[in-house]
Structure 1
Amino acid sequence: MIALLSDLGLAITLFASTNLDDLFVLIGFFSDSRYRPRQIAIGQVLGLAALVLASLAGALLSLVVTPAWLGLTGLVPIALGSSRLLALRSGAEDEAPGEPAGLGTVLAVAAVTVANGGDNIGIYTPVFATASGPRLLLIVAVFAAMVALWLGLAHWLVHHPALGAPIRRIGRVATPFVLIGIGVMVLVEAGTLSWAPGWVSAR
C-alpha cells in the first residue's frame, strides 16, 4: 500500500510539475471565444498523448541499455530545473507560445501543447524507462485522469481570473525544485549514483 501511494504521488507530482505552464495555456484557450471546450479538450489529449508516446518510445532503449547508464538521463530534468531556477533568480520570463497559423482549432491546441511540452520528453523518458510494468500503467492512468482535471481546472479558473496571479507566482518558484527532485530520484532509482564511490576511488 505504501509503495502504491508513493507511485501515485510520483505520477501526480510528475504531471503537475511538467504541465503547470500548460495550465495557463489552457486558460488562454478557454478565454478565447473562437475555441470551443470540446475542441480544446480533444486537442489537449492529442498533444499530451503524442508527448507520452514519444517518451515511451525513448524508454524502450532500457531493453538494450544498462539501467545505470540510462539513469544519466535524470540529469535532463536536473538541468531544466536548474535552468529555470537561474532564470527565476535573474528575473527572466518565459515566452508564451503563439497560436500556429493555418491549423484547425483542435490541431492548434494539440500543436501548442506539443511545442509547449517538448522538454517534457526528456523528463518522462528516464522515469518511464526505470519504471516496472505495473508502475508504468499507473503513471499513464494518472496522466489520463490529470488531463481531465487540468481541463476542468483551467475552465474554472477562467471564471476566477483573480486567482491566476498567485498561482503563477507559486508555480514559478516551486517547479524548478520539483524538476531537480525528480532528476535526483531517477539517478538514485537507476543506481547511477552508486558509481560515485568508484569514480572517487579511481582518482
Structure 2
Amino acid sequence: MDLGIIGQAAGLFAVTNIDDILILALFFARGAGHPGSTRRIVLGQYLGFTAILAVAVAAAFGATFLPESAVPYLGLLPLALGLKAARQAWKSHRNGDVDQEDTGAEPGGGPGALEVAAVTFANGGDNIGVYVPVFATAGIGGMTAYAVVFLALVAVWCFAGRFFATRPVVARALARWGHVLLPLVLIGIGLLILVEGGAFGL
C-alpha cells in the first residue's frame, strides 16, 4: 500500500471526523459501568461509518443512493436522538432515577449499537460529499486503500474516545454533566446539519 495514500487517507479521516471523538467520549461515559457497552459503542461506530463508506463508494461509481438534496435531512437523526436523550435526562432529574425501559438502553445498560450507528451516520453525512470526489479519482486500488485506512482509524477513534472518557478529571466532568452534554451536542449537530444544508428552506 502506497505510503502517500495512507498519509492522505489518515489526514482526510482526521479532519472530517475530529468531532466524533467528543461524541464517542460522551457515549463511553454514558455506558460506564454497564457490561457490554464498550462492545456496543464500537460496533455502532463501525456500523455507522461502514454505511457512510458504502454510500460514498456507491456514489463514486455513479450509483448515488442518497440524493444530494437529502443529505441535510440526516440532521433529523441526531436531533431526534438528542431530544429523546434530553427528555430522558429531564425524567431522570425529576424522578431521581430512570428505569431501564424508559432509557431505551440495551439490556446491559448504556447506549445501543443502533443508536451510536445512527448518530455516526448522520454526523458523517456531509463527509460523503468530501469522500466521493476523492474516491472517484483514486481508482479501485486507491479507494480500497482509503477504506482500509479509514476502518483502521475508526478503532483508533474509539480508543481515543474511551481514553478521554476514562481520564479521572474528564470522567468526573462527564459523569456530572454528560447527561446534559450529550443531548446538547446531538441537538446542536442536528441543527447545524439542517441549517448548513438548507433543509426546510433554512
TM superposition score normalised by structure 2: 0.57
In structure 2, the CA distance between the partners of 1:79 and 1:151, relative to structure 1 (3 Å rule), is closer
Greater displacement, 182-191 / 172-181: 182-191
| 2:91 is the counterpart of 1:117 | no
| 2:193 is the counterpart of 1:192 | no
Query: How far, CA to CA, are the matches of 1:51 and 1:80 in structure 2?
Result: 15
Q: Residue 97 of structure 1 aligns with which residue?
A: 106
Alpha-carbon contact 2:82-2:186 (below 8 Å) kept: yes
Alpha-carbon contact 2:24-2:162 (below 8 Å) kept: no
Q: 1:170 deviation in Å?
A: 1.0
Alpha-carbon contact 2:48-2:118 (below 8 Å) kept: no
Q: Residue 52 of structure 1 aligns with which residue?
A: 49
Q: 1:171 deviation in Å?
A: 0.7
In structure 2, the CA distance between the partners of 1:150 and 1:128, relative to structure 1 (3 Å rule), is closer
Query: How far, CA to CA, are the matches of 1:21 and 1:58 in structure 2?
Result: 25
Q: Residue 84 of structure 2 aligns with which residue?
A: 83
Alpha-carbon contact 2:46-2:154 (below 8 Å) kept: no
After superposition, the CA RMSD in angstroms is: 4.4
Q: Residue 124 of structure 2 aligns with which residue?
A: 128
Letter in structure 2 aligned against 1:17:
I
Q: Residue 183 of structure 2 aligns with which residue?
A: 176
Query: How far, CA to CA, are the matches of 2:40 and 2:186 in structure 1?
Result: 25
In structure 2, the CA distance between the partners of 1:140 and 1:170, relative to structure 1 (3 Å rule), is farther
Percentage identity across paired residues of the two chains: 20
Q: 1:139 deviation in Å?
A: 7.8
SS of 2:107 mapped into structure 1 = coil
Query: How far, CA to CA, are the matches of 1:60 and 1:144 in structure 2?
Result: 20
Q: 1:185 deviation in Å?
A: 1.9
Q: Residue 108 of structure 1 aligns with which residue?
A: none
Structure 2, gaps ≥5 residues long = 1-10, 135-145
Query: How far, CA to CA, are the matches of 1:44 and 1:65 in structure 2?
Result: 25
Alpha-carbon contact 1:77-1:180 (below 8 Å) kept: yes
SS of 1:129 mapped into structure 2 = coil
Query: How far, CA to CA, are the matches of 2:123 and 2:151 in structure 1?
Result: 12
In structure 2, the CA distance between the partners of 1:49 and 1:42, relative to structure 1 (3 Å rule), is same
Residues matched between the structures, number: 166
Alpha-carbon contact 1:77-1:182 (below 8 Å) kept: yes
Structure 1, gaps ≥5 residues long = 30-34, 100-111, 197-203
Q: Residue 167 of structure 1 aligns with which residue?
A: 174
Alpha-carbon contact 2:82-2:183 (below 8 Å) kept: yes
Q: Residue 105 of structure 1 aligns with which residue?
A: none
SS of 1:176 mapped into structure 2 = helix
Alpha-carbon contact 1:74-1:184 (below 8 Å) kept: yes
Q: 1:65 deviation in Å?
A: 3.7
